Chain A
Amino acid sequence: MSMPFYVPPEQLVKDRAEYARKGIARGRSIVGMEYVGGVLLLAENPSRTLYKISEIYDRIAFAGVGKYNEFEALRVAGIRHADLKGYLYGRPDVAARGLANAFSQTLGNIFTHEIKPYEVEILVAEVGVNGESNRLFKVTYDGTLYDELGFCAIGGQADLLTSTLAERYQEPGSLNATIQMVAEAFAQVEQRQIDGWEAAVLDGTSERRTFRRLTQEEIAAAFT
């Protein structure tokens, strides 16, 4: 019987992380940012039908970058998690923190146990009701969970976008101003023509289901 080669765990984790990072670096970025009355999610996305941003529950939205089939599987799992919880208990019992934790557990397990890690980063946003604060969680390929304040970026240019936005963002503005600010940050970081926008909001002023996709006309109108 042949013995498998010994690979030190440090090396194993380093290789996996490098592999995942390479995959994510190819993906276009997404930014989530608070505005007055809600949370905006803005993604660079040339497709009009394949979405990266999606509704999870009444107050919760999901955005994923990286390999499509992988973040799509996580999106579906997230919707199942939320709908199950809401059905078995009650609608107010579905919260972003629990969901982000579940994503973190899942991605962490996949990172250590699977042949190949997921090449994805996930953003979970929640709009607060009754004066509660909004929440933005970021989950990376290895299951690390970040709790961000004000805004959050994921994807290939996440670090640059974060530092660019940190200079511009002070406090929540109007929706249109927020779209403009994020779009300008994208333009500055990417240094090229943006291929197309996908945008959605969690509108804290609407009842029950707060998620709403912005139409291309609405996005275009925000720039005028």
Chain B
Amino acid sequence: MSVDRFTGGLPAGAPSPGTSFTDLLRSLDLAPEWKGSGPEGAVQAPEGTTVLALRYSDGVVMVGDRQATEGHLVAHRRIQKVFAADGYSAVAISGTAGLAIEMVRLFQTELEHYEKLEGTRLSLDGKATYLARMVRSQLPMVFQGLVVVPLFAGFDEATQEGRLYTFDVVGGRYEEQDFGATGSGGRDAKSFLRGAYRDDLDESAALDVALRALIAASEEDTATGGPDIQRGIFPNVVTVTAVGYSEVPGEQVAAISSAALEGLR
């Protein structure tokens, strides 16, 4: 194809399948290399802690705390762990923050690239499968102790319902019917949700349960940062429903968190 040969400033080569942005990067030797060497623990990097998501009547809600830790130290207090993957899905990260954020950026670009080239969005299942592949490609880093485990949720435009997926370090992909959590406080969040979750939650109840679960995790797990009223740092909360991805405003999160914290007194 002549466009490929006479690049004239346009990216050369037609990678196959032509819709993958990562394949395009690879063809230009620009793809991120998920490889490392040296003994485990040789590299210390900030880690994201707790993120969780749950299904409710209109879709899914996803919550992430704001803290990143490095060993026993607080590395960042205001990190963002919940992102829009595209207009109808959200992705949250736990594990090595630097690698995870880069993975999210690539994932976002990948989804948008596909959507523009094909003129249609990937199915929700397709997006989750692709994310699983990205986690698996990260496997060499896992042996260095640099682990990334995302959480993925979105609104399935075909079945008109919210769906959510959890992953493991080797790229296993599991669809959850009710809720999912990952990160250092993920287990504590899940044990809270196991008691508090109901099938018929509406939006306000779902936001309340989700934030309470995060607070429960921060009570049990030192690495998880709960709502910080003194500094005014509150968790990132997003919903994905039939109208798409939307971020819950900070004031609303602050109000719900304050009420939930009040209950602990």
* Chain A, Cβ-Cβ closest to B27: A80
Q: Which residue of B lies closest to A143 (CB)?
A: B8
Given A55-B116, A56-B116, A79-B116: A73 and B8 interface contact (C-beta under 8 Å): no
The segment from B43-51, B104-112, B148-156 that touches chain A is B104-112
> Please, how many angstroms separate the alpha-carbon atoms of A86 and B105 in the complex?
11
Selected from A56, A80, A209, the residue in CB contact (under 8 A) with B10 is A80
Q: A51-B119, A73-B1, A87-B106 are in contact. Are A78 and B112 (CB under 8 A)?
A: no
Q: In the complex, which residues of chain A have a beta carbon less than 8 angstroms from the beta carbon of B24?
A: 80, 83-84
Pair count A-B, CB < 8 A:
67
**Identity of the chain B residue whose Cβ is nearest the Cβ of A102 in the assembled complex:** B9
- Mostly helix, strand, loop or mixed at chain A's interface? helix
Residue on B with the closest CB to A107? B8
Residues of B within 8 A of A79 (CB): 113, 116-117
The interface residues of chain A lying within 8 Å CB-to-CB of B113 are 79-80, 83
Given A76-B117, A84-B11, A88-B30: A106 and B6 within 8 A (CB)? Answer: yes
Contact A106 B119 (CB under 8 A): no
Q: How many residues of A contact B (CB 8 A)?
A: 28
In contact, B21 and A77 (Cβ under 8 angstroms): no
**B interface, CB within 8 angstroms of A:** 1-3, 6-11, 18, 21, 24-25, 28, 30, 105-106, 109, 112-113, 116-117, 119
Q: A54-B119, A102-B10 are in contact. List 13 more A-B contacts (CB 8 A).
A: A76-B18, A77-B11, A78-B10, A83-B112, A84-B24, A84-B25, A102-B8, A106-B6, A106-B8, A106-B9, A110-B2, A114-B2, A209-B112
* 18 A-B contacts (beta carbon < 8 Å): A54-B119, A73-B1, A78-B10, A79-B116, A80-B10, A80-B11, A81-B10, A83-B24, A83-B109, A83-B112, A84-B30, A86-B109, A87-B21, A87-B105, A88-B30, A102-B10, A105-B8, A106-B10
